[in-house]
Amino acid sequence: MFSNTWNAIVDWFRDRSERNKLIRSFNESARDSFVAGIAPTLLKAKISKGESSYRHQFSNWLNTGFRIQAFTGRELSKDELVYIGKVILNDSVLVRRLIVLGWDTLEIHGDKGQYGCRWQLKDYIPLPNFNENTNE
């Protein structure tokens, strides 16, 4: 019982560290690509509030949104937002990582305008049912 509680505390800290590491790696890659001229737009990832109706088994209590902001200096069209979203969602390794680290919502926003798109992450990866009594 005590070891379980201790493991839960350790896991919580480890998850926080992994979440920050992922955000940092994404932002570093985006910055380097922008500086090198590979990417015409600077992307920046941050943690947002998220959508409570998108919850899944790994969801955190608070701040479950993974928001990517595109600094274009203009209002992005819906197609552009959807395409960036699709690139993220088609990378199954990244989606899986986002899910296990407690995120349940992906949000893409521009730096101008009020318009943005969001997706429910659990729709893009099959999550096993951990309550089933099967010997996997």
Binding site for other proteins (CB under 8 A): 1, 4, 18, 22, 25-26, 28-30, 32-33, 38-41, 43, 57-58, 83-84, 86-88, 90-91, 93-94, 96-97, 99-100, 128, 130-131, 133, 136
Question: Which of 15, 51 has the CB closer to other proteins?
Answer: 15
Q: Which helix (H) or strand (E) holds 20?
A: helix 2-36
Strands 105-110 and 42-48: unpaired
CB of 122 to other proteins, least distance (A): 13
Nearest to 55 by CA among 125, 105, 96: 105
* Residue 123 beta carbon to other proteins: minimum distance, rounded to whole angstroms: 16
Q: Which is nearer to other proteins, 49 or 57 (CB)?
A: 57
Do residues 101 and 15 touch, judged by C-beta distance below 8 A?
A: yes
Question: What is the closest distance, in whole angstroms, from the C-beta atom of residue 40 to other proteins in the complex?
Answer: 6
CB of 49 or CB of 97, closer to other proteins: 97
Residue 12 Cβ, how far from other proteins at the closest point, in Å?
Answer: 12
Nearest to other proteins of 29, 120 (CB atom): 29
Question: Which of 44, 33, 92 has the alpha carbon at shortest distance from 66?
Answer: 44
* Nearer Cβ to other proteins (39/117): 39
